[in-house]
């Protein structure tokens, strides 16, 4: 096993073990090694045999090649800044795993991924928003980059962000954890959204992460999207404003609000527009304040409104499938994995692992029947 020395390999094993929240003793028991042997391997004081490394990788739950591949630069920088003694959060671990899997599919020729399809950062003329006005301008620019109308709801935000190279995954990682995180890859990026939240909050979180992606922030984890204070964390507050402007674009939203509020009243107007633009009531109320469309008392009442089954029937509301619910993978990623299966570049078992339980065996492409004479191509 060439390419890296024993010390570097040991450090990568140690880091992977820590991200899996395993002790040296845990890893030793799972891989059939003494704890002292694991300790020596991680220090680079003992070489690890190929079969041992395979057992270690299986015990940790990573591909063996992970130990030999150079990590994504943004991920390596993040880990360095955190310090080796700092344990990664759950979302850090999941982002690292997703980055590894996306890079793996990409290196096999996953053209369907569309990574790097959109311009980001200063080189593309995209500046970090310093004011609320800047945030509004960036939201309009984002819609333009995604090829979306300036005045219409975004039906499936996770599909739209993929058009500019940001792959959005979701996973339920619990209530008291981060809302979302984003990691820049060598080309393009990935976001992970905590699907424990309701759909409006999930879409807002992804919109916020899109802001980080567009300004080329290497690595971000957001714990409470929409709760950032303009005084304590002004840049994150600007991205919250960007997210609201992206989902509820001015002046289309303002025109519809004024028309519906005058015609139906505040409660019905709130329910109609929240359903139309697929946002939660808190986001709707804050956006009303952003644009000066209502007073504080009315905005507070909007926050309290909830659509009932009666509203859904009587107002004939469209109730689409919930976006980013449970565990989801981007359609472009699924398409790339399925092609690799069809081309026999990866096994069906590996494909199911990459697709994270969103497919089962019967969903995969049928196994190609081979001609009886094909065996001869394997012989000189």
- Is residue 5 very low, low, confident or very high in pLDDT (cuts 50, 70, 90)? confident
Going by C-alpha positions, the residue among 350, 344, 346 that lies closest to residue 374 is: 344
- Summarised one tens digit per residue, pLDDT across range 210-255 is 999 999 999 999 988 888 888 788 999 999 999 999 999 999 999 9
Whole-number pLDDT of residue 61:
77
The Cα–Cα gap between 131 and 237 comes to 10
Whole-number pLDDT of residue 357:
92
Strand residues in the chain grouped as ranges (E):
166-171, 180-184, 189-194, 219-222
- Is residue 1 very low, low, confident or very high in pLDDT (cuts 50, 70, 90)? very low
Would the pLDDT of 127 be above 80? yes
The Cα–Cα gap between 333 and 106 comes to 9
Mean pLDDT across the chain = 88
Q: What is the mean pLDDT of residues 352-363?
A: 93
Q: Label residue 356 left, alpha or beta by phi (over 0 means left) and psi (-120 to 50 means alpha).
A: left
The Cα–Cα gap between 47 and 36 comes to 13
Whole-number pLDDT of residue 85:
43
Whole-number pLDDT of residue 329:
97
Q: What percent of the chain has pLDDT over 70?
A: 91
Going by C-alpha positions, the residue among 253, 293, 289, 287 that lies closest to residue 272 is: 253
Going by C-alpha positions, the residue among 61, 108, 94 that lies closest to residue 177 is: 94
Would the pLDDT of 204 be above 70? yes
The Cα–Cα gap between 172 and 194 comes to 5
Would the pLDDT of 293 be above 90? yes
The Cα–Cα gap between 163 and 183 comes to 17
Whole-number pLDDT of residue 86:
42
- Cβ(150)–Cβ(369) under 8 Å? no
- Cβ(343)–Cβ(310) under 8 Å? no
Residue 262: helix, strand or coil by DSSP? helix
Would the pLDDT of 321 be above 90? no
User: Which pTM was predicted?
Assistant: 0.84
- Summarised one tens digit per residue, pLDDT across range 38-97 is 999 999 888 888 888 889 988 887 778 778 777 676 666 666 565 544 445 778 888 988
**Domains along the sequence of the chain with CATH:** 6-69 (1.10.260.40), 252-314 (no CATH)
Both tokens assigned to 268:
């019905």
- Evaluated on CA atoms 248, 254, 255, 260, the torsion sign reads positive
More confident residue, 142 or 89: 142
Of 83-92, 183-192, 327-336, least confident by mean pLDDT is: 83-92
- Cβ(67)–Cβ(53) under 8 Å? yes
Residue given tokens 């609201």 in the structure block: 244
Q: What percent of the chain has pLDDT over 90?
A: 61
Whole-number pLDDT of residue 294:
94
């Amino acid at each position: 096993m060439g390419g890296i020395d024993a010390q570097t390999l040991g450090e990568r094993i140690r880091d992977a073990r820590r991200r899996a929240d395993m002790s040296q003793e845990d890893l030793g028991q799972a891989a059939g090694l003494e704890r002292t042997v694991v300790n020596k391997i991680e220090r680079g004081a003992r070489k690890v045999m190929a079969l041992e490394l395979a057992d270690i990788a299986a015990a940790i739950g990573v591909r063996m090649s992970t130990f030999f591949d150079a990590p994504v630069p943004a991920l390596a920088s993040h880990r360095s800044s955190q310090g080796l003694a700092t344990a990664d959060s759950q979302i850090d671990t999941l982002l690292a795993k997703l980055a590894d899997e996306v890079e793996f599919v990409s290196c096999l020729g996953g053209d369907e991924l569309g990574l790097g399809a959109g311009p980001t950062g200063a080189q593309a003329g995209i500046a970090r928003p310093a004011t609320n006005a800047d945030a509004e301008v960036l939201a309009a620019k984002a819609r333009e980059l995604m090829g979306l109308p300036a005045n219409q709801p975004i039906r499936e935000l996770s599909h739209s962000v993929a058009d500019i190279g940001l792959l959005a995954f979701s996973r339920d990682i619990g209530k008291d954890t981060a809302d979302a995180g984003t990691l820049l890859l060598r080309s393009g990026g990935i976001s992970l959204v905590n699907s424990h939240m309701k759909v409006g909050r999930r879409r807002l979180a992804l919109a916020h992460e899109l802001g980080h992606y567009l300004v080329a922030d290497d690595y971000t984890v957001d714990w409470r999207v929409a709760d950032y204070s303009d005084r304590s964390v002004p840049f994150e507050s600007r991205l919250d404003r960007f997210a609201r402007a992206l989902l509820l674009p001015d002046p289309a939203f303002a025109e519809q609000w004024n028309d519906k509020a005058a015609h139906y009243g505040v409660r019905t107007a709130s329910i109609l527009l929240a359903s139309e633009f697929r946002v939660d009531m808190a986001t709707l109320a804050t956006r009303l304040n952003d644009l000066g469309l209502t007073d504080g008392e009315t905005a507070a009442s909007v926050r309290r409104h909830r659509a009932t089954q009666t509203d859904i029937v009587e107002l004939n509301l469209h109730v689409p499938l919930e976006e980013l619910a449970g565990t989801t993978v981007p359609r472009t990623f699924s398409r790339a994995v399925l092609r690799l299966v069809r081309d026999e570049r990866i096994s069906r078992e590996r494909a199911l692992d990459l697709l994270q339980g969103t497919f089962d065996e019967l969903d995969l492409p049928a196994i190609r029947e081979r001609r009886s004479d094909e065996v001869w191509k394997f012989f000189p």
